[in-house]
Structure 1
Amino acid sequence: MAQRESWATRAGFILAAVGSAVGLGNIWRFPYQVGEYGGAAFLVVYLLLILGIGFPVILVEFVVGRHTERNPVGALKRLGTGAWTKIGWVFVTAGFIILSYYSVVAGWTVRYVLLGLQGEYTATPEAAGQQFGAVASGLDAVVFHAIFMVAVIAIVAFGIERGIELSVKVMVPAIIALLIGLAVYAFTLEGAGEAYAYYLSPDFGTIASNWTSILPAAAAQAFFTLSLGMGVMITYASYLGEDRNLAEDAGIIAFLDTGIAFTAGLIAFPILFTAGIPAGSSGPALIFVSLAAAFAELPFGGILGAIFFGVVSIAALSSAISIMEVVTSYLIDEHGVDRVPATAMLGTAMFVVGVPAALDIIFIDVYDLFANGVLLVLGGLLLSIFIGWVVPDLALDELGKGITNIGSLGVTWIWLLRIPVIIALIAVVALNAWDYYGFLTGDFAAWLGENL
């Protein structure tokens, strides 16, 4: 068996993991989720879930990946018996579906960079909505979907050290620097004070009265933004040495990722409030409709918008290569396929699956509500049960490698998984599955009736 690839440096691993986490989930999905679910009320629940669920589940995936040195499917084959060996397929399936439509949305961001450079953002939400409709569906969307997927294939085909690690060492620092610069600019806008009040002052009454909506949305967002449940952290940790402190690395990754998502809000909401556009008005199209319209009202708005969407494009690419690595590593590890043909075959398949989402935006919801709302959390739930109740001693031993004194950390981690994390994830899977059923029998059924 050929020697497996590994990270050249610790910084390379951390930047790759942060790059995976810092993507469309932070800059596209997070602001519109905040807008839809009560501003700071959503932010508070989201931060609590990052700490109470996200961090423990990152450690689960790290432990599984490093111990087995395999992709999610191969990892569970090595660790589990019976039905437990099938858990890895939940991760790989989720990653495959997510990247198929993720690439479509990323293609939109590239298109909006060009619109900004050409000074073509429209100043009213209505006109911006029409512009977004033209960009988000049809042949134009298919072409940019293809362009983005080709870029992903090219980077992953070069491998861990020469492809992924080298690229994220450029992309992630650039993302952070540009976002900080945009946040400083947003601070100077006249609507910043009102925006910060909305974003940073929680109404706990809103949380109490809407927790059945806020909790599952915030949990799904926490999983999506940390790249959990799709096998990325399992796969990336599979290239780690035993001397790494997994808890320390997980803490750095979670902190940087959450900080970048938070910064995206500090940019988006001052711009929206300055332009007088409601924060929850556009849903998933928030940055493409509301923010684009707001940029059109600002001095040098086209250039600012191009910079903003350029950051989103880079962030999307850093995440997409990590998801591609999950499914690529499956073919390499389990079937002995060489990296280049494995990446090309899978990228082509994902492109084809994503074409319906490029042709009609409703398929974004069909894919996203299932993969992000159900599969990601289900994968985390099943793996937490397995680690917490089936192989806890093995997990504690693996976690202890690279940690001088694990102390009570390991016991606390296991019991967090066994009770509160599992209970919370069961509730989230149930609520999100019910919401998805409602979507299929409601909006999607109506769409089918009109179009078939």
Structure 2
Amino acid sequence: MTRESWTTRLGFILAAVGSAVGLGNLWRFPWMTAENGGSAFLVVYLGIILLVGVPGLLAEFVIGRRSKRNPAGALYRLSNGSGSWGIVGLLGVFTALVLLSFYSVVGGWILRYVGASVTGAYFGNPGYFDAISFGAEAAAFHVAFLGLTSLIVVGGVRSGIEKATTVMTPLIVVMLAALAVWAISQSGADAGLAFYLDFDADYLQANPISVLQAAAGQALFTLSLGVGTMITYASYLGEDNSLAFDGSVIAILNTGVGVLAGLVVFPLLFALQGGLSETAAGGGPGALFVSVASAFQQVPFGQLLAVGFFGVVLLAALSSSISMLEIPVAYLVDEHDVSRRSATLGLAGLILVTGTVCALNPDLFTTVSGPVVDTLLTAGLAGFLVFAGWVLGGDALAEYGTGSGRIARALGVPWLWSIRTVLPVFLLVTLGLSLGLV
């Protein structure tokens, strides 16, 4: 069957940004920042985005565009049929299924909060999140969110993913920027800005390893690296695109949205609650859900603002979840000649089951959404970097240079050596630290 492609370069960029923005920025980023010293975490996170994230993004782009395949098919074909590299690619497909199994549960929470914001159901009810986060109703909303995701993916690359993200991604940025302006204007917001933006060297000096681990995991999660999303999306690209330019734009826009999310959450919490609540500071997947929701009940038109905030989060969640589902769908379409509709519906049925298990088991959800995902993403990206740097080698450099300008091509050799040596070592050390092996 004829393989699809993006209609426009902008469509690809907005789809990739939408994949990267997601809950990594609007849910997990504030939570991880609150747990890891605020500004200390932010500085390390931005450094990892620049020095690890962007080169890693380009490595996945190179693999995807050169192969015109999903992660498993890409590594298998570009390695001349190596079964071992095919397994590394399959790890990305598996990781996507794991990610979506917990991600759709969180998407269900957001759907619930959008509706509850209209009615004000959680206003004055501090136990609301605990009551709805796990159990049969959480499983039902997970199914609803998964249905929305599947509906977009079954439409295909151009008619489904590109059309949806071309609308959703700019809307996310505009709405989030408006919320940030409002949050910063609140009395008492300065303390939140200080927590978030004033560099805390003492905290970083006291907790270097924990901050590094958290920042590395967050950087990979938020850029959709290590799972093969960017390999899959780049596989639908034409040869005239500058991968270096597109990758830089995607990383900058994604990071900007993350920073904007912090400019909404932290000024809001400090202005309306006098600081991080014990719940927010203690972390956990529901921490800032609870804190932000309780803050909205204290302001005029709080229900309307809450609908806007959680509406933005819902759009971001959908833009990421469709990219996760596209990975295994592309694998079945490319490698097994399954129709897109059948692949999407079959995989949705599988994730319906695995996500329901996560929705019914809080301990399993916490394990999957934290250490399991961080480990899989780190190992996956390390594998992709080694593959691009050593297996493709000169071919990777040639693919990187195709469509690029003079400055980007001049940076090609340093980029190749960074993905061959420095970055895999950094990722493996980070992985060793997270597993207690270093």
| Range into which the TM-score falls when normalised by the shorter chain | over 0.9
Offset from partner CA, 1:273-296 (integer Å, 9 cap, x none)? 121241524432123211111111
Gaps of 5+ in 1: 436-452
> Are the equivalent residues in 1 in contact too, given 2:192–2:275 (CA < 8 A)?
no
Matched, 1:355 2:352: no
> Are the equivalent residues in 2 in contact too, given 1:385–1:422 (CA < 8 A)?
yes
| Corresponding residue SS for 2:195 | helix
Letter in structure 2 aligned against 1:54:
G
> Are the equivalent residues in 2 in contact too, given 1:388–1:417 (CA < 8 A)?
yes
Within a 5 Å distance, the mapping from 1:313-392 to structure 2 comes to 313-392=314-393
| Corresponding residue SS for 1:241 | coil
Offset from partner CA, 1:153-180 (integer Å, 9 cap, x none)? 1110010000000111111111011001
Aligned equivalent of 2:411: 409
Letter in structure 2 aligned against 1:276:
G
Letter in structure 2 aligned against 1:170:
V
Identity %: 47
Inter-partner Cα distance in structure 1 for 2:395 and 2:204: 38
Q: TM-score, normalised on structure 1?
A: 0.93
Offset from partner CA, 1:78-99 (integer Å, 9 cap, x none)? 1123522321012111111001
Matched, 1:427 2:429: yes
Letter in structure 2 aligned against 1:262:
V
137-146 or 363-372, which deviates more: 363-372
Aligned equivalent of 1:447: none
Aligned equivalent of 2:120: 119
Report the alpha carbon displacement of residue 267 of structure 1 after superposing the two structures with TM: 0.2
Inter-partner Cα distance in structure 2 for 1:367 and 1:172: 27
RMSD, aligned CA: 1.3
Offset from partner CA, 1:409-445 (integer Å, 9 cap, x none)? 111101211232112101111122339xxxxxxxxxx
Aligned equivalent of 1:221: 218
Aligned equivalent of 1:165: 162
Q: 1:199 aligns with which of 193, 196, 204?
A: 196
> Are the equivalent residues in 1 in contact too, given 2:75–2:89 (CA < 8 A)?
yes
Matched, 1:17 2:19: no
Inter-partner Cα distance in structure 1 for 2:90 and 2:293: 39
> Are the equivalent residues in 1 in contact too, given 2:110–2:313 (CA < 8 A)?
yes
> Are the equivalent residues in 1 in contact too, given 2:15–2:165 (CA < 8 A)?
yes
Inter-partner Cα distance in structure 2 for 1:434 and 1:136: 30
Inter-partner Cα distance in structure 2 for 1:390 and 1:244: 23
Aligned equivalent of 2:241: 244
Inter-partner Cα distance in structure 1 for 2:324 and 2:371: 17
Q: 1:230 aligns with which of 227, 230, 250?
A: 227
> Are the equivalent residues in 1 in contact too, given 2:296–2:302 (CA < 8 A)?
yes
Gaps of 5+ in 2: none
Within a 5 Å distance, the mapping from 1:13-412 to structure 2 comes to 13-80=12-79, 81-123=82-124, 127-128=125-126, 130-274=127-271, 275-278=273-276, 279-405=280-406, 406-412=408-414
Inter-partner Cα distance in structure 2 for 1:402 and 1:54: 21
> Are the equivalent residues in 2 in contact too, given 1:103–1:148 (CA < 8 A)?
yes
Report the alpha carbon displacement of residue 115 of structure 1 after superposing the two structures with TM: 1.1
Report the alpha carbon displacement of residue 370 of structure 1 after superposing the two structures with TM: 4.1
Offset from partner CA, 1:85-117 (integer Å, 9 cap, x none)? 321012111111001110000110110111111
> Are the equivalent residues in 2 in contact too, given 1:377–1:425 (CA < 8 A)?
yes
Letter in structure 1 aligned against 2:24:
G
Inter-partner Cα distance in structure 2 for 1:137 and 1:434: 30
Structure 1 residues 157 and 410, CA gap change in structure 2 (3 angstroms):
same
Inter-partner Cα distance in structure 2 for 1:156 and 1:212: 39
Inter-partner Cα distance in structure 1 for 2:152 and 2:316: 14
> Are the equivalent residues in 2 in contact too, given 1:229–1:379 (CA < 8 A)?
yes
Structure 1 residues 306 and 344, CA gap change in structure 2 (3 angstroms):
same
Report the alpha carbon displacement of residue 368 of structure 1 after superposing the two structures with TM: 1.5
| Corresponding residue SS for 1:23 | helix
> Are the equivalent residues in 2 in contact too, given 1:277–1:290 (CA < 8 A)?
no
Inter-partner Cα distance in structure 2 for 1:77 and 1:153: 27
Offset from partner CA, 1:97-152 (integer Å, 9 cap, x none)? 001110000110110111111022334xxx42x21011101111011101000111
> Are the equivalent residues in 2 in contact too, given 1:121–1:302 (CA < 8 A)?
no
Inter-partner Cα distance in structure 1 for 2:345 and 2:84: 31
Letter in structure 2 aligned against 1:142:
A
> Are the equivalent residues in 2 in contact too, given 1:98–1:371 (CA < 8 A)?
no
Offset from partner CA, 1:192-235 (integer Å, 9 cap, x none)? 10011100011112212211101111111001100111111000
Aligned length: 430
